[in-house]
Amino acid sequence: MTSQASDGPTIGELGEFGLIAQVQAQIGGNRHVLLGPGDDAAHVSTNDGTFVVSTDLLVEGRHFRRDWSSAHEVGRKAAASNLSDINAMGGVATALTLGFGAPADLPAEWALEMVRGFELECSHVGAHIVGGDVTASDAIIIAVTAMGDAPRPVRRSGALPGDVVAYAGDLGLAAAGFATLSRGFRSPKAAVEAHKVPHPPYAAGPQAAGAGATAMTDISDGLLADLGHIAEASGVAIDLDSTAFVIPEAVATVGEALGRKALDFVLTGGDSYALVATFSSETNLPSGWTAVGRVSDGEGVTVDGQPYDGPEGHQHFR
């Protein structure tokens, strides 16, 4: 029998990306791995081509609550968060597998309605469930693996000094919705619904890849946090112009009601699944993309030339 290791840091001390870095160093790669862990999706070769693949988890009580969201909404959110990873590589998802853990007393209709929501969201990009697994669990756990095509996968590591930083999609709405629900309110409706069912800009990923985006990621943990991954992977500095962002009306409403800056939701709010990318300064940005910053020599992410005052986004295990 193998004894449980007790030396060294805990997962909480390492954090999500510290743990991923150690796992990546341990597993290495092989000739089929064109891009391994650390990006939005892996890029893998086969005998007759390549594909991109990503896995994500939704856990009851952490990513959704049944008293806030219907089974249908949970299914759509589970699909959207995974389809977004393929989108962030400049690709389009084609197939997904679905792992489902649940308590034995969960009504079967809840699971079936969740799958109906999942399939509806997949239909937006033409993807479909092709398999999965079911097991008993103390809480609902939804594990999804998404696979798709990406003719020119866009990594996080390609940003260059002089590039323009731009985003596509809505920022801050989901975070404002979470803050609203956490205080027992159900409006503004646009913010609450964005938390329950995100709306990734599915056309924007392939558009950005086709326009020559140098780096890209989706925004799941917060714009500043996720841009930080691009800055670190690319070895560059990124500065954002706070006046360039479009702040949704519902975000401004929530900010005023809660005594918070609306820009905080935009810069640090997670679960939006918008996209942020870098482009050469000579590129004409595709429709729906808004320029908000610049890439330069250096490191880290700043706002209006200054370090951001406060947490930059969600951190797992913290």
DSSP string, 147-197: EEE-SS---SS---TTPEEEEES--SHHHHHHHHHHTT---SHHHHHHHHS
Residue pair 172/251 in contact (Cβ under 8 Å)? The answer is yes
**And the tokens for 135?**
């097991």
Could you say which DSSP state residue 3 is in?
P
Q: Is 54 annotated as a binding residue?
A: yes
Q: What separation in angstroms does the CA of 205 have from each of 51, 84, 133, 256?
A: 15, 9, 29, 33
The answer to whether the annotation marks 149 as part of a ligand binding site is: no
304 annotated to bind ligand: no
253 is in an annotated binding site: no
Within 8 A by CB and 6+ apart from 237, the residues are 231, 295, 296, 297, 298, 299, 300, 301, 302
Contact (Cβ atoms closer than 8 angstroms) between residue 275 and residue 184: no
156 assigned binding-site residue: yes
133 is in an annotated binding site: yes
55 is in an annotated binding site: yes
For residue 63, say whether it is annotated as part of any ligand binding site. Answer: yes
> At residue 151, what are phi and psi to the nearest 5 degrees?
-55, -35
Residue carrying the six token digits 């239909």: 123
Give me 260's structure tokens.
Answer: 């918070």
Handedness of CA 76, 265, 153, 43 (dihedral sign): negative
Residues 6+ apart with CB under 8 A from 309: none
Helix (H, G, I), strand (E, B) or coil at 298: coil
Helix (H) or strand (E) holding 265: helix 262-268
Residue closest to 270 by CA, chosen among 13, 42, 16: 16
- Tell me the Ramachandran region of residue 122: left when phi exceeds 0, alpha when psi lies from -120 to 50, beta otherwise: alpha
Residue 10, marked binder: no
Residues annotated in the binding site for Mg(2+), as ranges? 40, 54-56, 85, 133, 218, 221
Residues annotated in the binding site for substrate, as ranges? 63, 271
Residues annotated in the binding site for ATP, as ranges? 132-133, 156, 220
Residues annotated in the binding site, as ranges? 40, 54-56, 63, 85, 132-133, 156, 218, 220-221, 271
